[in-house]
A and B are shown apart, each in its own frame.
Chain A
Amino acid sequence: MSDTAEAQVEIRHAVGLHARPSVKFTKLAKTFAARVEMALAPGGPWIDAKSIVKVMATKAPKGTVLHLRASGDGARAAIDALVALVQRNFDEGVEGETDVRPA
């Protein structure tokens, strides 16, 4: 019997799940043998969390609640690590695009 795990986490990074965060997120997911999937709603559609092409295509903005699920070897560890990365703001501190506006 294989492991399964799931979790939800809110993206607080100012620019959402953009290029640099997506690179970190998918690289981390790939370090686990488990199948890891991500969705923007509890009912899916579920996409491969190891695919940056698919993760970027969700265009998840700040405030999005990511639904994560994993199955197979190390499923729990994979989910915990990914949730922690999102909660640490992808180790970037505050970052983002801005509308530049004069005084």
Chain B
Amino acid sequence: MGSSIRLTGTAASPGYAEGPVFRLTSHAAAYRPRATPDEEIEGLTEAIGTASAHLADLIDGTSGEAADMLEFQLAMLSDDSLASPAFVAIRAGAAADRAWSDALDAEIAGYESSDDAYFRARSADLKDIRQQVLDALTAAHGPAAPSGAILFGEDIAPTRFLATDWSKGGGIALTMGSSASHVAMLARARGVPMVVGLTSAVTAPAGVALLDAEHGGVVLEPAADEMEAFRRAAEAYRARRRVAEDAVARPASSANGIRVRTMVNIAHPSDVERIDIATCDGVGLMRTEFLFGTTLPDEETQYRAYRAVLDWAAGRPVTIRTADAGGDKPVPGLTVEEGNPFLGLRGIRLSLARPDIFRLQIRALLRAATHGDLKVMFPMIAVPEEYTQACALFAEEAAALDAAGVAHRMPPLGIMVEVPSVAIAPELFADAAFLSIGSNDLTQYVMAAARDNTAVAALNRVTNPAVLRLIEAVATFGRDNRIPVSLCGDAGGDPAAIPALLQAGLRDLSVAPAQLALAKAAISGVTV
């Protein structure tokens, strides 16, 4: 018995799994061409039919995003124009497998060359379709993975994932793959541990594998002591998960019983589909940049987006931030080219410079406010005049809606605390209905270290005493003047930063939905 083999990679879906290795092979089975082009055409037609029937079976047991993906694949496969170049090539003498691969490769190349990330991602669907038909052509399905197996290979097709029985555990270990892939999303949704990008020269793994998808690694042919250590780590992980899952269902409070409101940050209205409103105290930050993608959104589009989230929140507070375009987020037709965009025309500066566009957003917000507990905040406020001007625009639009007899409500108007001038002199902003600390920008501006530059990442720390002192000053100012203060940067969901934030006096944190459970668990361990 040789020594074990340890491979490291990136965790794409957290968890631990132990089981027999099952190798994912890509159509290794050789295709045996038939005698005539007519028979080849018949063979390909049958293979497409087999693959379609298989997809239809999968759709039956699936819902949501996975079902949409399968429906799309089935529609593509049912469209004669997908295979027609292959049939032409077969008539010209090509073998069915080559003809099909070439036809699909041409389609795939079209998607891969797209400027649009969404269309580029569809190439994975086309590759999946290509493989399903090749498998049917060569009858290369092979044995199904035993339940509880660790599927090991270069990559795995979404349909293969969906066709696998995960009820007895198991996991996925890939030498290629990506944590942003469709399969990774499916794995996270189903709680299947998955590691991608394994550094592996192992061509024929066999025996038992230990998959650590918390840290990103796999051990092949483990020794007894490795097995033991792995099981201890897996049990500790499961225990932490249980605590976190118990905690997520309850309102968060510190170890000594101080209530901490925990809200979620959302980037897009559809984000809320995956969040149970009962697990959070509302939305602390809803970004609106998503609306400003390639074209400027009209009032109706914005109104529907805001209303959708307010309806979901069922009366809990929802804080929407007006457009924070600029900085690292250029918008065609809105932002301007600048040498130093983080210090330029971004956030409220840009909105005030383009009142024509800002007024559309204001009207949509005023109208949406009648549907729930809406609050609105302005990003990148540096001086009180900006707040006053933004409030004046709200008042003007409210008056116009009033005159037109359109239902609306004036929401509380607050500001983001992210420019150091506000954190240093918060008393200048005593008129604001509330203050929300944007810890990412505040940290990068205080430390003069860009958050997207890994070379200075060590400087970009919210726990630097200078940053924490400003946060504490803002929290104290808010408490003394009865102005609510919250924090909505990444630090709010960072278990390592949470103790310091609570010590600084914060009692309202807004975190990424995926961080909610861990944030609540971290809060419950702090005594303040």
Residues of A within 8 A of B (CB): 12, 14-16, 18-20, 22-23, 26-27, 48, 51-54, 56-57, 59, 61-63, 93-103
Q: A22-B75, A93-B308, A94-B269 are in contact. List 12 more A-B contacts (CB 8 A).
A: A53-B76, A53-B79, A53-B81, A53-B82, A62-B295, A93-B304, A98-B268, A98-B289, A101-B329, A102-B489, A102-B490, A103-B321
**B287 and A19 contact, CB distance less than 8 A:** no
What 1/0 flags go to B460-479 for Cβ under 8 Å of A? 00000000000000000000
B337 at the interface (CB under 8 A from A): no
Known: A19-B68, A52-B75. A94 touches B294 (CB 8 A): no
Residue in chain B with minimal CB distance to A50: B79
**B301 and A99 contact, CB distance less than 8 A:** no
Contact of A98 among B76, B114, B293, B321 (CB under 8 A): B293
Could you tell me the distance between the alpha carbons of A51 and B114 in the complex, rounded to whole angstroms?
A: 20
**B289 and A26 contact, CB distance less than 8 A:** no
B429 to chain A, nearest CB (A): 18
Known: A14-B293, A61-B116, A94-B308. A101 touches B328 (CB 8 A): yes
**A63 and B75 contact, CB distance less than 8 A:** no
4 closest pairs, A vs B, by CB?
A: A98-B290, A19-B72, A103-B438, A98-B268
- Report chain A residues within 8 Å CB of B488: 103
**B295 and A101 contact, CB distance less than 8 A:** no
Could you tell me the distance between the alpha carbons of A40 and B116 in the complex, rounded to whole angstroms?
A: 17
Contact of B76 among A20, A52, A102 (CB under 8 A): A52
- Report chain B residues within 8 Å CB of A53: 76, 79, 81-82, 107
**B116 and A48 contact, CB distance less than 8 A:** no
Q: State which residues 247-267 of B face A: CB under 8 Å.
A: 265, 267
**B290 and A96 contact, CB distance less than 8 A:** yes
**A12 and B301 contact, CB distance less than 8 A:** yes
- Report chain B residues within 8 Å CB of A56: 76, 122
Residue in chain A with minimal CB distance to B416: A103
8 CB < 8 A contacts A-B:
A19-B122, A51-B79, A96-B293, A98-B290, A99-B289, A101-B267, A102-B490, A103-B440
B110 at the interface (CB under 8 A from A): yes
**A59 and B119 contact, CB distance less than 8 A:** yes
B305 at the interface (CB under 8 A from A): yes
**B301 and A23 contact, CB distance less than 8 A:** no
Could you tell me the distance between the alpha carbons of A63 and B489 in the complex, rounded to whole angstroms?
A: 33
- Report chain B residues within 8 Å CB of A26: 75, 79
**A99 and B290 contact, CB distance less than 8 A:** yes
Q: State which residues 28-84 of B face A: CB under 8 Å.
A: 68-69, 71-72, 75-76, 79-82
- Report chain A residues within 8 Å CB of B82: 53
B451 at the interface (CB under 8 A from A): yes
Residue in chain B with minimal CB distance to A57: B110
Could you tell me the distance between the alpha carbons of A53 and B110 in the complex, rounded to whole angstroms?
A: 11
B155 at the interface (CB under 8 A from A): no
**B439 and A103 contact, CB distance less than 8 A:** yes
B508 at the interface (CB under 8 A from A): no
**B79 and A15 contact, CB distance less than 8 A:** no
Residue in chain A with minimal CB distance to B79: A53
**A62 and B285 contact, CB distance less than 8 A:** no
B74 to chain A, nearest CB (A): 9
Residue in chain B with minimal CB distance to A20: B68
- Report chain B residues within 8 Å CB of A54: 81
B441 at the interface (CB under 8 A from A): yes
Contact of B294 among A18, A19, A57, A61 (CB under 8 A): A61
Could you tell me the distance between the alpha carbons of A93 and B270 in the complex, rounded to whole angstroms?
A: 10
**B267 and A98 contact, CB distance less than 8 A:** yes
A93 to chain B, nearest CB (A): 6
What 1/0 flags go to B343-374 for Cβ under 8 Å of A? 00000000000000000000000000000000
Could you tell me the distance between the alpha carbons of A96 and B79 in the complex, rounded to whole angstroms?
A: 25
**B441 and A103 contact, CB distance less than 8 A:** yes
Residue in chain A with minimal CB distance to B270: A95
